[in-house]
Amino acid sequence: MAMFSGKTALITGSGAGIGRATALKFAAEGANVVVSDIHAAGGEETVAMIHKAGGRAMFQLADVSDSADVAALVAGAVDEYGRLDCAVNNAGIEGRIAPLGDQTEANYDAIMAINAKGTFLCLREEIRHMLAEGGGAIVNLSSVAGLIGFPGLSPYVASKHAVIGMTRNAALEYGKAGIRVNAVCPGGIDTRMLDSLADQATGGSRSSQQMMDPLHPIGHIGTPEEVANLIVWLCSPEASFMLGAVIPVDGGFVAQ
């Protein structure tokens, strides 16, 4: 039997990248998958990929920085599939690269609204439903930028540190109620976000792989699927003693 047969998994920001890979992995393991993104085209494409492979999925448009959207998203998942067992709070943006003294308030607000407030709003709604159902598993997406500093990315670094703080606190508050909350911290992963950062940092003169491969002790950046494998495992019964963990999946980046 598939690991998540009869279970429901919600993944925000699953129209591309790590979110899409996670949605596909959950579907392959038998879950009913709720795909959510602020970009409908990408989200619908993820659903089509799941359907083509014989899985079950629905798409719901949502802005995670909007409390009404988040409440509707989680309620919609429960209405469609009758339960919410797993949630992956993946939606995030990188913003603009600049030293802190040159950062704009608008850039800071935009990043914090999605990465930090969005994670808070999603956690709040997911926990409320999981409490009523007797438990569940939640994985938040932080970053190696939640563990160390990155010059030029102060708002992003602040937002990802905030995700780790919320993860640990939620784990302590709800672990005894059967809700396991953990976080993963990807390093350089082959996604559009990394491409955007590379373009900003090098003016388009170097690809994300050219810029980031040498920075990882393993010798290369990672794939979305490599992160998805860890996320889905953390939601599985095999990770039943994992609570409040903050796990780098980074090819040794923060071990340096």
53: its two tokens: 């492979």
Which residue of the set 81, 108, 156, 174 is catalytic? 156
d(CA 15, CA 39): 7
Type of residue found at 226: E
Q: What is the pLDDT of residue 203?
A: 81
Q: How does DSSP assign 150-200, residue by residue?
A: -TT-HHHHHHHHHHHHHHHHHHHHHGGGTEEEEEEEE-SBSSHHHHHHHHH
Check if 108 is active-site.
Answer: no
pLDDT at 192: 80
Q: What is the per-residue DSSP string for 95-134?
A: -----GGG--HHHHHHHIIIIIIHHHHHHHHHHHHHHHHT
* Segments of the chain scoring below 50 in pLDDT: none
* Domains of the chain by residue range: 8-187+222-250
Residue 188 to residue 191: CA distance in whole angstroms? 9
pLDDT at 57: 98
8-187+222-250 CATH pick, 1.10.150.20, 3.40.50.720, 3.50.50.60, 3.40.50.620: 3.40.50.720
pLDDT score for 196: 81
pLDDT tens per residue across span 41-57: 999 999 999 999 999 99
- Predicted pLDDT at 186: 98
